[in-house]
């Protein structure tokens, strides 16, 4: 847990030219996706704007390697975040929120940002509004209140273990309005302490901002009556800057079907053995990226068709693969779909279930629950997806749509439109300057 006493940030003023907008990125780096999405955006604009990055101390080296000024601020430990997520507990207690907001306000006083860009840093909905700086929220559209979600309770929720899937899900849907308000009660209460109005339920809090940017394609998560300050910019593609391992050429030269496997930083590493035991008995090659979360057992180490590394250049490998097995998180899912590769998702939390439910509905892949991840079921699903021509056709079509959305370009256009706002006392962006979606062509236009 975080201490209630606010962590002090550096008091050294940043020396920067005043002509460029000062843009402060503050992701909640409890998973790799939130870190690398914002870092990718920051890298894309760092020569045009004065870019600053604030996050947990343990990512300092990653950020400073990109020559981006870095400030250390409180961040919940990943283990605590995943535990609270697994148990369905509110992510933030009042003490954590107060610590976050106090530290953010101190940081704002220190660097005087023109724009703050967050990714799952929910406390920014308080600190930015209180300080008076535009808050740009990066969040996936499957949390949008303007999208109709397909909800499933994760297997980690205790009530599901007692009542089973059908009863517990029905009970959840019945009580959802109460549950979603309880999850963000601390945020709404703290806003009121700062003289701000409450936001609403969980989805409204998750997507709250002066501007909300969805790193998605709208056909995958269709929305209705989207406000003008909510915009799709397209998936933010990133991969680990890791070189190809020495064994890569051996995998390619074997001329066998390649399957890329990664449960990421927020998946359930206990599933690796079941997955790889199935893979080793198939005429395929399994390429595994563990995010340093899994140590292979002796039988897996001895398998001649399984190759494992802590980190791999995912996109480069997926381009050569026929199937991806992952936790259902947006990062790997979009990497796979952009390459025209179907997905088997083994979700752990609600976020991943929302993505995989929609993916399965769209016939781009299959969702397998942890309790169903036994050898026979997983084997049959793998074979089905490798042979299903309809799924391959569907995935090929969505890959073409994804390629039409250049998130970096759209993000740049959005920031350009904001420059007029900042220079005129942060007035509302004029309708003709907004980044809007041409629904007929599926592309952004100015």
- Res. 9 pLDDT band, cuts 50 70 90: very low
Contacts of 398 (CB under 8 A, 6+ apart): 217, 219, 220, 337, 362, 364
Cα angle 124, 130, 135 (rounded to 5 degrees) comes to: 40
Q: Per-residue pLDDT for 120 more than 90?
A: yes
Q: What distance in Å separates the CA atoms of residue 222 and residue 209, rounded to the nearest whole number? A: 20
Name the more confident of 297 and 87. Answer: 297
pLDDT digits (tens, 9 = 90+) for 104-115: 999 999 999 999
The token duo for 155 is 């297997």
The token duo for 97 is 């929120």
Rounded percentage of the chain residues whose pLDDT exceeds 90: 75
- Which of 351-355, 403-407, 424-428 is predicted with the least confidence, judged by mean pLDDT? 424-428
Q: What is the pLDDT of residue 132?
A: 96
Secondary structure of 248-287 in HEC code, one letter for each residue: HHHHHHCCCEEEEEECCCCCCHHHHHHHHHHHCCCCEEEE
Q: What distance in Å separates the CA atoms of residue 425 and residue 152, rounded to the nearest whole number? A: 44
* Closest by Cα among 5, 194, 134 to 186: 194
- From residue 404, alpha-carbon distances to 139, 211, 237, 340, 399 in Å are 20, 22, 13, 14, 9
Q: What is the pLDDT of residue 151?
A: 83
Residues found in the chain: 446
Give long-range contacts, CB 8 A cutoff, 24+ apart: 160-163.
none
Helix (H, G, I), strand (E, B) or coil at 146: coil
Backbone angle region of 90, left / alpha / beta, with phi > 0 → left and psi within -120 to 50 → alpha? beta
**pTM across the whole model:** 0.89
Which secondary structure element, helix H or strand E, spans residue 190, and what is its range? helix 185-193
Which domains, from first to last, does the chain contain?
Answer: 22-236+406-445 (3.40.50.2000), 248-402 (3.40.50.2000)
Distance from chain centroid for Cα 263: 13
Q: Per-residue pLDDT for 384 more than 70?
A: yes
* Closest by Cα among 30, 138, 118, 127 to 82: 30
Name the more confident of 343 and 177. Answer: 343
436-438/443-445 β-pairing? antiparallel
The token duo for 154 is 């994760």
pLDDT digits (tens, 9 = 90+) for 282-327: 999 999 999 989 999 999 999 999 999 999 999 999 999 999 999 9
Q: What is the pLDDT of residue 226?
A: 95
pLDDT digits (tens, 9 = 90+) for 240-293: 889 999 999 999 999 999 999 999 988 899 999 999 999 999 999 999 999 989
Q: What is the pLDDT of residue 446?
A: 27
Q: Per-residue pLDDT for 118 more than 90?
A: yes
Give yes or no for a contact between 213 and 115, defined as CB atoms under 8 angstroms apart.
Answer: no
Q: What is the pLDDT of residue 170?
A: 82
Write the burial class of residue 434 (CB in 10 Å: 0-12 exposed, 13-18 middle, 19+ buried). middle
Q: What is the pLDDT of residue 424?
A: 62
Mean pLDDT of 2-31: 63
């Amino acid at each position: 847990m975080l201490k209630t006493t606010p962590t002090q940030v550096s008091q050294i003023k940043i020396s920067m030219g005043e002509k460029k907008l000062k843009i402060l990125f503050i992701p909640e780096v409890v998973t790799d996706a939130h870190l690398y999405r914002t870092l990718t955006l920051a890298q894309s604009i760092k020569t045009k704007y004065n870019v600053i990055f604030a996050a947990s101390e343990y990512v300092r080296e990653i950020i400073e390697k990109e020559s981006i000024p870095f400030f250390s601020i409180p961040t919940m430990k990943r283990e605590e975040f995943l535990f609270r997520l697994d148990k369905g507990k509110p992510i933030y207690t009042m003490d954590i929120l107060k610590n976050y907001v106090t530290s953010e306000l101190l940081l704002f006083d220190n660097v005087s940002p023109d724009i703050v860009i967050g990714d799952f840093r929910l406390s920014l909905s308080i600190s930015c509004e209180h300080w008076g700086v535009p808050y740009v929220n990066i969040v996936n559209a499957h949390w949008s209140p303007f999208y109709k979600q397909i909800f499933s309770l994760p297997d980690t929720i205790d009530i599901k273990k007692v009542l089973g899937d059908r009863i517990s899900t029905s009970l959840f849907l019945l009580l959802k309005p109460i549950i979603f308000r309880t999850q963000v009660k601390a945020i709404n209460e703290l806003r009121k302490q700062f003289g701000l109005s409450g936001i609403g339920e969980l989805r409204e809090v998750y997507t709250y901002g002066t501007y909300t940017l969805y790193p998605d394609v709208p056909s995958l998560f269709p929305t209705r009556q989207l406000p003008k300050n909510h915009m799709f910019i397209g998936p933010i593609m990133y991969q680990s800057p890791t070189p190809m391992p020495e064994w890569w050429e051996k995998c390619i030269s074997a001329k066998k079907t390649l399957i890329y496997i990664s449960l990421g930083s927020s998946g359930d590493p206990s599933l690796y053995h079941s997955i790889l035991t199935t893979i080793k008995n198939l005429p395929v090659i399994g390429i595994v990226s563990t995010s340093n979360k899994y140590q292979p057992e002796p039988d897996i180490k001895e398998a001649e068709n399984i190759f494992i590394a802590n980190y791999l250049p995912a996109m480069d490998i997926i381009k050569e693969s026929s199937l991806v097995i992952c936790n259902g998180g947006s990062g790997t899912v979009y990497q796979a779909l952009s390459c025209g590769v179907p997905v088997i998702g083994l979700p752990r939390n609600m976020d991943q279930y929302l993505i995989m439910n929609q993916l399965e509905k769209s016939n781009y892949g299959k969702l397998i629950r942890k309790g169903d991840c036994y050898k026979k079921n997983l084997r049959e699903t793998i074979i089905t997806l490798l042979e299903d021509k309809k799924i391959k056709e569907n995935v090929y079509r969505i890959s073409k749509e994804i390629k039409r959305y250049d998130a970096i370009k759209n993000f740049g256009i959005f920031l350009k439109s904001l420059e007029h706002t900042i220079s005129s006392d942060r007035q509302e962006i004029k309708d003709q300057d907004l980044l809007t979606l041409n629904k007929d062509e599926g592309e952004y236009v100015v």
